[in-house]
Amino acid sequence: MGDILSRYDLLGAFWLTIQLAFWSALGALVIGTIVAILRVSPVPVLRLLGTSYVNLVRNTPLTLLMVFSILGASFVLGLQISDDFTTNLFYWAIIVLSIYHAAFVCEALRSGVNTIPAGQAEAARSIGLTFTQSLTEVLLPQAFRGAIAPLGSTLIALIKNTTVAAVIGAADAAGLMARIIENETGTVAVFALFATGFVILTLPLGIWITSLSRKLVVKR
């Protein structure tokens, strides 16, 4: 095992996984918030757009989206984000992970909005706040506080789903594990090593999110 660790950049692979998770989480949060606003919008067309996005993306396999990003969007349609092949894979992996998990972020936020008493939205309208002002000043702050636990679960799932980026050749932890298993012996030990690495990434995060959700819970 020591010989394998000396010949392969394990820390570099996990660092790439952390980068994928960070930028994808940021993108998913932005896109998911926008889609959540569409889903609670008073305009029927916007609600339909938000609902269609969630139903379409959430029911499409992530692996299929990841493969399409390279074989379809990048190679066939020529949508190259970078001239460097490795960098292009990295950016497309972030885009796909962001788009996919945005649907789950949206539903988490919508569940947070549903915990807010209807009287608060009515009170916001009664004092003359617009829909945008009601969202930014009343609904979304409480929705984020109420949705910390499901948002945390989505983030942990995103970290684990970065492994899907290996199917397009990304040199993350899962990609390195596949390469080591292909070239070396001791498959069980290698698998256990990488599994431990993902536990180290996700377990402290889960504990912190649980603690944060208890501190910031909205008393009803």
pTM of the model: 0.84
Q: Name the token pair of 84.
A: 């460097």
> Which pLDDT score, from 0 to 100, does residue 96 have?
92
Q: Which of 106, 134, 108 is nearest to 120 (CA)?
A: 134
Distances 20 to 76, 94, 137 between C-alpha atoms, Å: 24, 6, 31
CA distance 176 to 99: 24
CB atoms within 10 A of CB 17: 26
Domain boundaries, the chain: 2-216
2-216 classified as CATH 3.40.50.150: no
CA distance 196 to 194: 5
pLDDT in tens, the chain (220 residues): 556 666 667 777 788 889 999 999 999 999 999 999 898 888 899 999 999 999 999 999 988 888 887 777 766 666 777 777 678 788 888 999 999 999 999 999 988 887 777 777 778 778 877 777 887 788 888 888 888 888 999 999 999 888 887 766 665 676 677 777 777 666 777 778 778 888 888 899 889 888 888 877 655 5
Start-to-end CA distance of the chain, whole Å, equals 53
CA 28 to chain centre: 5
